[in-house]
Amino acid sequence: MSQEFDRWEGRYDIDGFLFGEDPNYFLKACETLLPASGKALAVADGEGRNGVWLAERGLEVTSIDFSPTAQAKARELAAKRGVEMEIIETDVHTWDYPDAAFDVVAEIFTQFSSPEQRAQKWAGMIKALKTGGLLIIQGYTPKQLEYGTGGPKKEENLYTPALLAETFGGFDNLVIEEEELEFYEGQAHGGMSAVIKLTGNKPG
């Protein structure tokens, strides 16, 4: 993990925000699905753009990430926007996810996880959701390797509809969609991209 930690610390150690200060476009598009109040978990939230946006929607946010450099920026962004959120420095794979604690769990472009780590992380995310809670996921598909405009270089780290359905197929109101579009988020995501997006509610 130390090599991955050093890599991300290096990526975040720049002037400004690596992925910008605005929320992920898909998360923003999910606004109508959000509860009016409640608790939200932003997984691998980095510099806080998504967690801060969820806090601005009136949710009580816990933002987890392993990069102190990124989290310093998250605190700065939260203060700038006039919101508060709990920021926890931890490994998202091994964090002790609390049982049925969150009304919303959002995982946006966290594809540094190996398949084994991903299984750990997703199990924790499911555990942490309350019954009926909203899950929001966005990631890159294998076709992203052709575009090279962001994301991991290992195909095993990328998401497919079958992979998501295997883990989350029992969720209520499940929507899994692939799309190819041009979008720009800070310095790290820019240009034509092949992505996949998921929303669903944890079944009772």
Domain boundaries, the chain: 2-201
CATH number of 2-201: 3.40.50.150
pLDDT category, 183, cuts 50, 70, 90? Answer: confident
For 7-64, how does the pLDDT look when each residue is reduced to its tens digit (9 = 90+)? 766 676 777 776 767 899 999 999 999 999 999 999 999 999 999 999 999 999 999 9
Task: State pTM to two decimals.
Answer: 0.92
In this structure, what token pair is assigned to residue 94? Answer: 């091994």
C-alpha 39/C-alpha 55 separation (Å) is: 9
pLDDT of amino acid 186:
60
pLDDT of amino acid 126:
98
pLDDT category, 191, cuts 50, 70, 90? Answer: confident
Mean pLDDT score across all residues of the chain: 92
Among candidate residues 104, 53, 108, 41, the one with its CA nearest the CA of residue 82: 53
187 has pLDDT over 70: no
pLDDT of amino acid 30:
98
C-alpha 28/C-alpha 25 separation (Å) is: 5
Among candidate residues 99, 100, 98, 103, the one with its CA nearest the CA of residue 88: 98
pLDDT of amino acid 150:
80
